Amino acid sequence: MKTTVWLAWKLWWTRQTLFGGSAPLALLGLVLGVASLVASMAVMSGFESTLKEAMSDVTGHVTVMRRPRSLDPWQELEARLKALEPTLESTMRFTYVEAIAAKKGQVLGVMIQGVDPERVHSVLHFDNRLKEGQIDFSSGDGKSGALVGQGVARRLGLKVGDHFKVIVPLTKELDPSQFTRQMSEFVVKGILDLGKYDWNQRFILTDLKSSQALAQMPPERYTGLTLKFKDIDYARTAAFHLSQEMGSQYFIRDWRDVNENLFEAVKYERVVIFFVVLVIVIVSAFNVSSTLLVNVVRRYSDIAILKALGLSQKKILQIYSMQGLILGGCGLVAGILLGFFLCFLFSIYQTKLGLISGDVYKVEAIHVEIRMIDLFVVSLCTLVICFLATLAPARRGARLEPVEGLRYG
C-alpha cells in the first residue's frame, strides 16, 4: 500500500501534471464546491440553533394555559405539574396584555408580558440578550420598570431611562360594547434583543404586579405558567404527556410549537440546499476525471515501464484511483478551510451590511454553527464522488498494454 501511495504521489506531483492543463481548475472547482457546502450547512444549522435558543430564552420550554383563563391557584397547579413530570426544574407565572405604547406622538401596538421577578431568572434567560441597561423591574417615582425589544425602542425612539405611556382598552362590565381605557407610565430599564424580529418589534416585559394593575387583574389572576425542564429536547415529550394527563381544558405547547412550520421548513431546506450545492462538487469531479484521463495519456510510457517491471492491472488501477483521492483530499481540506473563512466573514458582515432581513427570515442575526456531522457528510460525499470519477481513467490506464505504451509513449 505504501508503494502504491508513493507511486501515485510521484506520478502526480510534477509541474506538467499538477500545475499544467486542467488540474488547477479542477482543484479550484472542488475547493469552491466544498466551501459552498460547508458555509451553506453552517448557516442553515445556525439559523435553526438561533431560533431554538430564542424560543428557550424568551418563552421557556413549555407553556401551560387554561381554557378559559380562570386558572387554579398557581401553587396547586405547580404541584400537580411536578407530580406528573419529576424532571420539571422550575415554573413562573406570567401575564399577556395587548396594549398601545406612545412616546412623543409615536404610537405602536405592543404585547406586554408580565413576569414574576423572583423566578424569571430560573426559567427565562434575558441576561445574554441585554443590549443596553440592566435587568431590573423596580419601580421609581410611581413608574414601573420595563424591558423593551430593540425594535420597539427604535420605532418609539426610546433609550435607557426614558419614560413612555401604555394604554390598555378595557370593556365595561355593564355594557361589553363600551370601552374604557387604563393608562400607565413605564421607565425603560433595559433594551433586549429577543432573537426574533416579531418579538423585537412588539414585546415589552415588566413585573407581574405592574401588568396585573395595568389590565385591572386581581393579584391571584395570571395567564399561565412557563416551565423549564432539565433537557430542552425533552420538552416536547413532556408537553405531550402533560396534555394527555391534564385534559383538554389546558392549552399546553412546547418551545417548538411556537414556530413549528418554520422549523419544518428549515429541516427540508437543509436537504434541498445540500443536494443543490453538491452539484458543484459533482461538476468538479468531472474535471478531476478529465484531468486524470489526460494524465493517463501523457503517462503512457511510464505506465508501460511499470507494467513491464511486473506491476499488475490492479496496482495501476489503485495508483490512479489514489491520485483522484489525493486531489479530492487536497480540495476537501482547502474547501473546508475556505468554508470556515466564509462563515467568519458572514458572521462579521451580516449585521453591518444587512444580509438578513428580519421581516422575511424572522431573525435579524444568525449565529453560524459548524456541526461535525455536517463536515463528516460533506467529506464522505466529496471523497466518494472523487473516487467514482477516477474509475474510468484508472481502468483505461490499467488496460494499457506495455508494447502499446512503449510504441506511442
Supply 198's cell numbers.
Answer: 416579531
CB 111 within 8 A of CB 202: yes
Write down the pLDDT at residue 337. Answer: 93
Write down the pLDDT at residue 338. Answer: 93
Q: Counting beta carbons within 10 angstroms of the beta carbon of residue 398, is it exposed (0 to 12), middle (13 to 18) or buried (19 or more)?
A: buried
Write down the pLDDT at residue 341. Answer: 93
Q: How high does pLDDT run on average in the chain?
A: 79
H/E stretch holding 109: strand 106-115
Q: Where are the domains of the chain?
A: 2-55+262-408, 61-254
Q: Is the dihedral of CA 115, 117, 120, 122 positive or negative?
A: negative
Q: Which residue has the higher pLDDT, 172 or 50?
A: 50
Query: Tens digits of per-residue pLDDT, 303-331?
Result: 666 666 666 666 766 776 777 777 788 88
Strands 106-115 and 179-192: unpaired
Q: Which residue has the higher pLDDT, 380 or 355?
A: 380
Residues β-bridged to residue 91: 227
Q: Give the C-alpha separation, 247 to 224, whole Å.
A: 15
Write down the pLDDT at residue 291. Answer: 72
Write down the pLDDT at residue 397. Answer: 62
> Shortest CA distance to 341 belongs to which of 14, 4, 39, 10?
39
Q: Which residue has the higher pLDDT, 360 or 201?
A: 201
Query: Tens digits of per-residue pLDDT, 341-351?
Result: 998 888 887 76
Is 161's pLDDT higher than 70? yes
DSSP 369: -
Q: Residue 54: CB partners within 8 Å, gap ≥ 6?
A: 194, 195, 196, 199, 363
Share of the chain above pLDDT 70, in %: 76
In the three-class reduction of DSSP (H, G, I as helix; E, B as strand; rest coil), residue 332 is classed as helix
Cis geometry, peptide bond prior to residue 219 (ω within 30 degrees of 0): no
Write down the pLDDT at residue 396. Answer: 67
Mean predicted confidence (pLDDT) in 242-254:
86
Mean predicted confidence (pLDDT) in 260-287:
82
Mean pLDDT is lowest, of 212-216, 261-265, 330-334, for: 261-265
Mean pLDDT is lowest, of 37-46, 190-199, 238-247, 352-361, for: 352-361
Supply 285's cell numbers.
Answer: 469531479
